Amino acid sequence: MRNKLTAVALAAVVVAGTAATAVPASAASAKAGPTRCHTADLKAGFAMGGDARPEMGQSEKQTQAYIWFTNESERTCTLSGFAGVDMVGAQKTDGTWSLARSAKKPVKMTLGRGDTVDFSITLLPVSGSTPQKEKFVPAKFLVTPPNETEHFTLKWPFGGQILKQDGATRPATYLNPVGM
């Protein structure tokens, strides 16, 4: 009886092993699709075109700045979710402000080699006459791609100041998901 069970178990292992190797590796990886983009795969920067520049010289309404990611790797990869964005201030009292996320739902973006996607940051500029304790003067942005831990350091190129709401539950300065 023991020999029959051993033989049946051995046959099951052999069949299972044969079935597992019957699928070519290229077919298995083709079905899996692209994996997520890593910080090392990407390049990042602020969009500098006319329509992409935030209106930092006004203080009546919100404005948007855009940050882009370009896939510089040899492979296709995906980005989905929110980047991590920490603004580092130029004033001694500014410190670092981790931006809140909007309520928008992220979508998965597929980036081939050389493809670019961006996301927007909504900002509420204030006038220069605003008391120092109420304004945040951005110097640089620490931008971490979604689901990553390493960041890019981007110098803030637009000047101006933002209403300081780093402790607010619904701040007027926040970020949107990648692709929006």
60-108 tens-digit pLDDT: 999 999 999 999 999 999 999 999 999 999 988 899 999 999 999 999 9
Residues listed for the chain = 180
> What are the domain boundaries of the chain?
2-32, 37-175
Question: From CA 48, how far away is CA 50, in angstroms rounded?
Answer: 7
* Closest C-alpha to 112, from 2, 37, 32: 37
Q: Is the pLDDT of residue 132 over 90?
A: no
pLDDT recorded at residue 32:
76
Q: What are phi and psi of 146, to 5 degrees?
A: -55, 135
Cα separation, 67 vs 13, whole angstroms: 53
Class of domain 37-175: mainly beta
- pLDDT above 70 (res 2): no
The reported pTM is: 0.81
